[in-house]
Amino acid sequence: MVRGKRSGIAVVGFGYIGTVIGAVLADRGWPVTGVDVRQAVVDDINAGRTAVPEPGLGELVANSVGTGRLQATTDFAALGDNDFVIVTVGTPLGPDYEPIVDDIKAAARAVGTHLRAGHLVILKSTVPPDTTEKLVLPILEDASGLRAGVDFGLAFCPERLAEGQAIYELTSIPVVVGAVDERSARACAALWRHALGVESVVVDDPRTAEMVKLADNLWVDLNVALANELAKVCDRLGMDALQVIEAANTMPKGGRDANILRPSMGVGGYCLTKDPWFVNHLGESLGLQLAIPRTSRTVNDTMPAYTYGLLGQLLADQGKSVGDSKIAVLGIAFKNNTGDCRLTPTRYVLELLEASGCQLSVHDPWVPEDEAHTVTAVPLTPDIEATVKDADALVVLAGHRQFHQVPLVRLAELAAPGAIFLDGRNSFDPAAVRAAGFVYKGIGR
Ligand SMILES: NC(=O)c1ccc[n+]([C@@H]2O[C@H](COP(=O)([O-])OP(=O)(O)OC[C@H]3O[C@@H](n4cnc5c(N)ncnc54)[C@H](O)[C@@H]3O)[C@@H](O)[C@H]2O)c1
């Protein structure tokens, strides 16, 4: 039951997603308790800080902790004071490309131990179909002695926000709800409406909602793979892939316009690199050899080496080689406007650059030094101007907004004359880059 903002919300797993959800709910007036097994995370939150590098999140955490609406603990007994329990623990990829659900099991057992009648448990982690009903539900019932759909509510609601714009998306995209019974579904929909101001799309059951998340991410990965292969063709033809895609997307199909996404130097992060493999693994478990997940992953995984190859060609056109050049890399996070380096495709470009023997400088205002070590052995240069000084090539691997705040003419003045500007994220206007004096190249343009 939603008792308005008197209802407390516990968020179990206060990592990237948990912190965004918890901080937004607290900012909107709900009492939120983050529960995590990592003491350092809990200490950070209670000190009004978060290491999660999402735009605007630091302020939300500081304000909400300041007003007393957000707190964190490692003690699951805190669940007793809350009506809602949202579970957002991680589901990494195993060595055989299978989903690892160990944290889900551990969290379910701990939640079950402190469950009471009237609780609504909402799982948000990305999981294979049937996890909510066949894995989580029996653990909760066994640990609590209560019955799902009778004594407590249970639902799966996939998290579909994108890092970099997570706070906005959390309060703007509809939530898919798949619950074990109608009462749980209604309570979930009421919570999302009251708490986040978003509508729910209620599907038949948790397994359908679990499949929705996998379908969404398979679509994104495949769509980007399509854009990336179009970009490779356009590169060979000397054509602008973005112009092709923009015009192609005016075609109506199935009641809406085509929506081919944008090519880039690679796809990374915690979701798109694993969720297609979850689908592949699911297919195998059902005796199906699926082609799409493998294809999308394979195509997108070619892009870092492809981007490095473009750089080699551009330098060769100027009679230079990568190894003899000074290269300035801008952005190492896995996408624009985040500091998240988990499974970033930029690492593969940096590995190739480091192996080439080139003189390399690297800058990313979003990424802390200890995180940067997971991507490159080269220490970050804190200042963009020092990074690009005398560079033969600027290589943009994440198109952070800070890079757009420095005038392009200033960057061109600092770089070597006639320097190359390789935009791996197609985030700059080619005409403006050329007008500043660079030799421009994007992915597919
Ligand atoms: N990062 C994204 O953009 C994104 C988007 C949509 C969905 N998801 C999904 O959301 C889930 C969480 O992703 P994330 O990026 O926030 O992961 P994360 O690794 O940043 O956070 C997971 C947190 O859970 C904590 N944890 C682990 N075991 C626990 C337990 N037993 N009890 C309490 N806490 C525990 C960890 O300490 C960690 O802080 C994953 O299933 C992911 O696929 C992520």
Pick the catalytic residue: 124, 157, 188, 213? 213
Please list the residues that pair with 393 across neighbouring strands: 327, 420
- Which ligand 1 atom lies nearest to the CA of residue 163? 3
Query: How does pLDDT run across 312-339, given as a tens digit for each residue?
Result: 999 999 999 999 999 999 999 999 999 9
Residue type (1 letter), 163: E
Output the CA 174–ligand 1 centroid distance in Å.
21
- Which ligand 1 atom lies nearest to the CA of residue 19? 16
DSSP 322: S
Task: Kindly list the protein residues whose Cβ atom lies closer than 6 A to any atom of ligand 1.
Answer: 12-18, 35-38, 41, 88-91, 103, 106-107, 110, 125-126, 159, 161, 163, 270-271
Alpha-carbon gap, residue 110 to 215, rounded angstroms = 30
- Which ligand 1 atom lies nearest to the CA of residue 271? 43
Instruction: Among 12, 14, 17, 102, name the best residue to mutate to test ligand 1's pocket (greatest count of ligand atoms within 8 A of Cβ).
Output: 17
Q: Which helix (H) or strand (E) holds 420?
A: strand 420-423
Scored b (16 or more CB within 10 A) or e, 296-310 reads bbebbbbbbbbbbeb
Closest residue CA from atom 6 of ligand 1: 159
User: Which pLDDT belongs to residue 72?
Assistant: 98
Alpha-carbon gap, residue 163 to 54, rounded angstroms = 7
Closest residue CA from atom 25 of ligand 1: 13
Range in 9-13, 78-82, 198-202, 214-218 with the lowest mean pLDDT: 78-82
- Which ligand 1 atom lies nearest to the CA of residue 15? 21
Strand segments, DSSP code E, in 297-435 are 326-330, 359-363, 393-396, 420-423
From the centroid of its chain, how far is CA 74? 25
Alpha-carbon gap, residue 163 to 336, rounded angstroms = 9
Query: How does pLDDT run across 343-365, given as a tens digit for each residue?
Result: 999 999 999 999 999 999 999 99
Alpha-carbon gap, residue 274 to 125, rounded angstroms = 13
Rg (the chain; Cα; Å): 23
Closest residue CA from atom 7 of ligand 1: 159
Residue type (1 letter), 309: G
User: Which pLDDT belongs to residue 125?
Assistant: 98
Output the CA 13–ligand 1 centroid distance in Å.
6
CA atoms within 13 A on the CB side of 386: 7
Output the CA 244–ligand 1 centroid distance in Å.
38
Output the CA 16–ligand 1 centroid distance in Å.
6
DSSP string, 70-113: EEEES-GGGGGG-SEEEE-----B-TTS-B--HHHHHHHHHHHH
Query: How does pLDDT run across 161-212, given as a tens digit for each residue?
Result: 999 999 999 999 999 999 999 999 999 999 999 999 999 999 999 999 999 9
User: Which pLDDT belongs to residue 7?
Assistant: 82
Alpha-carbon gap, residue 232 to 305, rounded angstroms = 12
Active site residue 234: no
Query: How does pLDDT run across 44-79, given as a tens digit for each residue?
Result: 999 999 999 999 999 999 999 999 999 999 999 999
Q: Which is nearest to 391 in space by CA: 422, 365, 369?
A: 422
Q: Helices (H), strands (E): how many in the chain?
A: 18, 15
Active site residue 358: no
What is the pLDDT averaged over residues 271-287? Answer: 97
DSSP string, 2-69: --GGGS-EEEE--SHHHHHHHHHHHHTT--EEEE-S-HHHHHHHHTT------TTHHHHHHHHHHTTS
Closest residue CA from atom 12 of ligand 1: 90
Query: How does pLDDT run across 144-156, given as a tens digit for each residue?
Result: 999 999 999 999 9
Alpha-carbon gap, residue 351 to 336, rounded angstroms = 20
User: Which pLDDT belongs to residue 4?
Assistant: 63
Output the CA 116–ligand 1 centroid distance in Å.
24
User: Which pLDDT belongs to residue 2?
Assistant: 58
Confidence check: pLDDT of 6 > 90: no
Angle of CA points 312, 384, 262, to nearest 5°:
55
- Which ligand 1 atom lies nearest to the CA of residue 125? 41
Average pLDDT of every residue of the chain? 97
For tokens 């992915």, name the residue.
Answer: 443
- Which ligand 1 atom lies nearest to the CA of residue 158? 7
User: Which pLDDT belongs to residue 377?
Assistant: 97
Pick the catalytic residue: 234, 271, 341, 358? 271
Closest residue CA from atom 32 of ligand 1: 107
* Residue 112 CB-density burial (10 A; 0-12 exposed, 13-18 middle, 19+ buried): buried
Output the CA 124–ligand 1 centroid distance in Å.
9
Instruction: Among 33, 39, 88, 334, name the best residue to mutate to test ligand 1's pocket (greatest count of ligand atoms within 8 A of Cβ).
Output: 88
Please list the residues that pair with 35 across neighbouring strands: 12, 73
Q: Give 3's pLDDT tier (boundaries 50, 70, 90).
A: low
Scored b (16 or more CB within 10 A) or e, 240-269 reads bbbebbeeeeeeeeeeeeeebbbbbbbbbb
- Which ligand 1 atom lies nearest to the CA of residue 106? 31
With contact defined as beta carbons under 8 Å apart, do 206 and 180 qualify? yes
Alpha-carbon gap, residue 433 to 351, rounded angstroms = 26
Output the CA 296–ligand 1 centroid distance in Å.
24
Output the CA 33–ligand 1 centroid distance in Å.
16
Closest residue CA from atom 18 of ligand 1: 15
Residue type (1 letter), 121: V
